[in-house]
Amino acid sequence: MLTRAVITRLGCMSTKITMAPTGVLLVPNDPIIPYIEGDGIGVDIWPAARRVLDAAAAKYGRHISWKEVLAGEKAFKETGEWLPEETVEAFRDHLIGIKGPLTTPVGGGFRSLNVALRQLLDLYVCLRPVRWFAGVPSPVVHPEKVDMVIFRENTEDVYAGLELQEGTEEARRLIAFVQEEFGWTVRADSGIGIKPISETGSKRLVRAALQYAVRRHRRSVTFMHKGNIQKFTEGAFRSWGYEVARDEFSDVAVSWEDCDGQPGDKILVKDAIADITFQQVLTRPDEFDVIAATNLNGDYLSDALAAQVGGIGIAPGGNINYVTGHGVFEATHGTAPKYAGQDKVNPGSLLLSGVLMFEHFGWQEAADDIIAALERTIADKIVTYDFARLMEGAREVRCSQFADAMVERL
C-alpha cells in the first residue's frame, strides 16, 4: 500500500510549498499561502480566522506569508473578471490556498466560482470533517457521538454539468438518440442530464479516504451509494471501492464480508445505501467514521451532518488533489450578505478550514491548540449570535471579539 506522508521541513529556506517527486508535500516554516478574502461576510470572518491561525502558528516558530488573490465581487470590481487567471495561477503555483465564501455570479460565465476552481485544479476530494465541540447547541440528544469525516467526490456525478434544457433542439436530439440506440423512452418534454461516475474518479477518491483512515488511525470507511437503483454508476462506485480496499489496502483494511464485522486491528470497510445512511447517521452515529461518497450524496450528507453539530457556521472544508498536492481550504457556508460588514457572524467555518489546512501540513500541534482554544471559548459561553440564540446564559460577542477570546485561550 502506498501512503503519502506529509512532512514539514523545518528550517527550510524556501517559502513556497512544493511537492517532492516522491509525492510528499514539503511545507517550510514560512510558507506563502494565497487567500481569497471572500464576498459578503468574508470581510468579517477572514481577518478573525487569520488572527487565530497566525497566533497558533507563531507558538511553534512558524510564520505564514499570506498573499491576497482576487475572486468574486472584489475581483470583478477591480479587474472586470470574476475569477482572474492570475488567481488560478497563484493557487496552481503555491499548491495550497484558503478562501472565504464567494457570490455566485448571476448570468456570469461560471455556474459557480467554487465549482470552477475545483475543476480547474482537479481538486477531486472534498474533505468535510464533522465533529461536535462541547457546549455547541445541537438538535440531537448525543451530538458527542458524531465524529465523521466525509470524502465527497468533487469532479463528476451530476455536477459534471452535462444537462440539456427541456424543449431545446439538443434535448430533442438526445432523447431521440437514446430511443433509437437503446430503446429508452424519455418523455418529450423532459430536461435531460448525464451522470458520469468513472472508475478513475471513484478509485482515486476511495484511495484518498483509505489513506486518510490509515494516517489518522480511523476505525472504518463506509462507501455511501445508491447502488440498489443506479447499478452502473452508484453501484459501480461501491464495487470499485471494494476493489481498491482489497487490491491496495489488504494489509491494513478488511471488508465486512471478509471478516464478518470483526476487523481486529484493521480498518473495517463497509457500505451503506444512501437513504438508510441518512437515518443511521442520526440514530447510530458512532457506527460511522470515514465516509466515501459520490458527489451529490456527499453534498447532501455534509450539510445534514453539519446540522447535527452546530450548523454551517462551524463546518470546515478542504478541496484536495493528493496526487498533484493542490488544495483549497474553504468556508462551507455562503456569503450571508445580510450580515456583511457587521462583525457579527461566526468565523468558525473558515477558521476550522485553516485548522484542516494545518493538519494537512502536518502542523498538528498548532491545529490541536486551536481546537482546544475553541473548546475553552465555547465552554466559557463566549459565542457569536448564531450560538447565543440557542444557548442559555451565553455571552454574545462580535466576530472579532470571538477571535480575541480564542487568541487569549491559545
Site for ligand NAP in 202-221 (CB under 6 A): none
Answer for which of 349, 360, 377, 402 binds ligand NAP (CB under 6 A) is 349
> CB 104 → ligand NAP: shortest distance, Å?
3
Site for ligand NAP in 358-387 (CB under 6 A): 386
Distance of CA 107 to CAs 103, 110, 112, Å?
A: 12, 8, 10
Site for ligand NAP in 317-336 (CB under 6 A): 330, 333-336
Cβ proximity to ligand NAP: between 157 and 234 the closer is 157
Start-to-end CA span in the chain (Å): 38
> CB 264 → ligand NAP: shortest distance, Å?
40
Site for ligand NAP in 91-130 (CB under 6 A): 101-104, 114
**Active site (catalytic) residues:** 159, 226, 275, 299
Answer for which of 202, 295, 346, 377 binds ligand NAP (CB under 6 A) is 346
Shortest Cβ contact with ligand NAP: which residue?
334
The DSSP-derived string for 79-140 is HS-SS-HHHHHHHHHHSEEEE---PPPTTSS-S-HHHHHHHHTT--EEEEEEE--TT---SS
CB-neighbour burial class of residue 120 (10 A; exposed 0-12, middle 13-18, buried 19+): middle
Answer for which of 57, 71, 150, 312 binds ligand NAP (CB under 6 A) is 312
Distance (Å, rounded) from C-alpha 94 to C-alpha 26? 11
Closest by Cα among 336, 378, 390 to 131: 378
> CB 389 → ligand NAP: shortest distance, Å?
8
**Please, are residues 62 and 363 in contact by the beta-carbon 8 Å criterion?**
yes
Residues facing 269 on adjacent strands: 221, 255
Q: At what angle do helices 364-379 and 42-58 cross, to 10 degrees?
A: 120
Distance of CA 278 to CAs 84, 266, 371, Å?
A: 39, 25, 27
Cβ proximity to ligand NAP: between 83 and 312 the closer is 312
> CB 323 → ligand NAP: shortest distance, Å?
24
> CB 76 → ligand NAP: shortest distance, Å?
13
**Interacting residue ranges for ligand NAP, rule: CB under 6 A:** 41, 45, 101-104, 114, 312-313, 330, 333-336, 345-346, 349, 386
